[in-house]
Amino acid sequence: MKIVICGAGQVGASIAQHLASEDNDVTVIDIDETLIEKIRDTLDVTTIVGYASHPAILQRAGAAEADMIIAVTRHDEVNMVACQVAHSMFHVPMKIARVRNQNYLDPEWSEMYRADHLPIDVIISPELEVARAIIRRLHEPGAIDMIPFADGRIKAIEVRCMLDCPVIGLPLSLIMKRASALRMSIIGILQKNQFRLPRPDMVLNAGDDVFFVADSDDVRSALELFGHEEKEARRVIVLGGGNIGLFIAQELERTDPNTRLKIIELSKKRAENIVGLLSRSVVINGSGLDKDILVEANVDMTDTFVAVTNDDEANILGSLLAKQHGVKRDITLVNNSSYIPLLPSLGVEITINPRETTISTILQHVRRGKIRAVHSIRNGIAELIEAEALDTSPIIGKSIDMLELPEGVLVGAIVRKGQTIIPDESTVIQEHDKLIILADSDQIRKVEKILSVSLDFF
């Protein structure tokens, strides 16, 4: 594929790295010469210094032959105009734009993005993606991450092995024997920042992150297997009343009437504004680093503390203070990726990185343009893909061992007529099976080739 990426910041550079490693023809545009030089020195891509919304720059970038444009510059308006020019002047088939300002995302103006108005095929809102990721974690206490697949029938879970984890020191073969009554499958282990596919003789250690897929009805029991018996959050404090905090509160008010939520917001004006947008949530004006404010918010009786201000340090310190005052669980927004490996040792349990969340969402639309369900694990070290075997697929009637999947690829679960199957090598693929597939980053291209022949994404 030929792909033009507008913006050489963290997200643009990461997307370029992913796509270039898969032998795509990638061109990156940015006005910042320093960012462009960094990408030029590290990636095998074409780079152009200039305004991404200018027709002449897009022409130099080869937009006329491009399959896709991904606009992720710092400015919403540049991203939107770049997509407009790509459509009107160069007829680019797929146009993805990152849009941060929530005014552009109001449903009242949704007609603006029609093909005959402002032709953007996919709008990515980092703030909304982060908020949704946090809400998923609130609904699955004990999980570091949770991604639904197959219309919610399957859930992919990331869980951390704590010091009291009952399966520490046990080989995976024995762990899966204990879980034989559950419809779950371990699909990966993150040990010392190295992602590995499971082997029967692998032993779990404290601090390891385990990735598994399970039937939605068996998720709670699967989490208990790893020592996580936390109850779903009913009392939540959100530090930060910006767009992310407000969306979390509004969504929980709409979908979960049993949750009691409080927002701590430093700005008096912002606190006054969001009070009128909420019906049940309590808004407290003050600093989340102020002990008296935390006491006023009854932090000691809180199930989950969610820190989502614009300041990484405030989020980290706020979560640590909340834990000191008795909060059971924390979810912390961290923009600086270099902080993340340090935080577990400090006591910060769950971190959300907007860049990783945004990249995962963009990749969902990049994968041959047909994938509706894909999730990037830890900034692209592996991906989870959902696909359906149609009646024309040559894999129908073949067992998994006959598919000759490359090393680093495994089928974690199959949904057949609404029922979850944890497959082994002898499992035979049937028509309309929905397959949840995990693939190492260096095997994505091979998987796409296999899938493009034998499967259809939905």
Taking only the tens place, the pLDDT of each residue in 392-449 is: 777 788 899 888 888 889 999 999 999 999 999 999 999 888 899 998 877 877 776 6
CA distance 388 to 264: 45
Q: Are 413 and 433 in contact (CB under 8 A)?
A: no
Q: What percent of the chain has pLDDT over 90?
A: 58
Query: Would you state the pLDDT for residue 379?
Result: 66
Tell me, what's the pLDDT at 267? Answer: 96
In a domain, 276, yes or no: yes
The stretches of 188-242 forming alpha helices (DSSP H) are 219-225
Reading phi first (left if > 0) and then psi (alpha if -120 to 50, else beta), residue 341 is in alpha
Q: From CA 321, how far away is CA 127, in angstroms rounded?
A: 24
> What does the alpha-carbon distance between residue 53 and residue 71 come to, in Å, rounded to a whole number?
9
Distance CA 422, CA 272 (A): 51
Does residue 20 have a pLDDT over 70? yes
CATH code of the domain in which 308 resides: 3.40.50.720
Backbone angles phi, psi at 256, to 5 degrees: -140, 85
Residue 230 lies in a domain: no
Rounded mean pLDDT of 232-250?
92
How high is the mean pLDDT of the chain? 88
Query: Do 32 and 114 reside in the same domain of the chain?
Result: yes
Structural domain for 111, as ranges = 2-124
Give, as one character, the DSSP assignment of residue 406.
P
Q: Residue 84 CA to chain centroid, in angstroms?
A: 27
What is the tens place of the pLDDT at every residue in 299-330? 999 999 999 999 999 999 999 999 999 898 89
Closest Cα partner for 99 from 358, 312, 353? 358
CA–CA dist 163, 278 (Å, integer): 40
Do 91 and 44 lie in one domain? The reply is yes
Asked if residue 365 and residue 348 are part of one domain, the reply reads no
Secondary structure element (H or E) that encloses residue 270, with its range: helix 268-275
Residue that finishes a domain, picked among 91, 108, 124: 124
384 & 425 share domain: yes
pLDDT at 1: 86
Distance CA 319, CA 313 (A): 10
Residues 242 and 265 in one domain: yes
- Residue 31 maps to a domain: yes
Query: Can you tell me the distance from the alpha carbon of 435 to that of 428, in angstroms, rounded to the nearest whole number?
Result: 12
C-alpha to C-alpha distance for 393 and 259, rounded to whole angstroms: 46
CA–CA distance from 358 to each of 313, 353, 375, 396, 430 (Å)?
Answer: 21, 9, 11, 35, 34
Domain-embedded: residue 408: yes
- pLDDT at position 358: 83
Query: Which of 73-82, 94-103, 373-382 shows the lowest per-residue confidence on average (mean pLDDT)?
Result: 373-382
* CATH number for position 408: 3.30.70.1450
* Domain count across the chain: 4
- Is the pLDDT assigned to residue 297 strictly greater than 90? yes
3-state SS, residue 160? strand
Q: Which of 15-24, 118-127, 413-422 has the lowest mean pLDDT?
A: 15-24
- Amino acid 457: pLDDT: 43
Q: The whole model's pTM is what?
A: 0.80
Distance of CA 2 to the CA centre of its chain: 24
What is the pLDDT at residue 442? 77
At residue 458, the pLDDT reads: 39
**Nearest CA-CA partner of 443 in 414, 406, 417, 390:** 406
Element containing residue 188 per DSSP (H, E)? strand 184-191
Q: 197, 191, 224: which is closest to 209 by C-alpha?
A: 191
Find the helix packing angle between 10-20 and 33-42, rounded to 10°.
20
415 found inside a domain: yes
Are 329 and 306 in contact, with CB atoms under 8 Å apart? no
pLDDT for 453 equals 53
What is the rounded distance in angstroms from the CA atom of residue 10 to the CA atom of residue 26? 16
Residue 256 tokens read as 């979960």
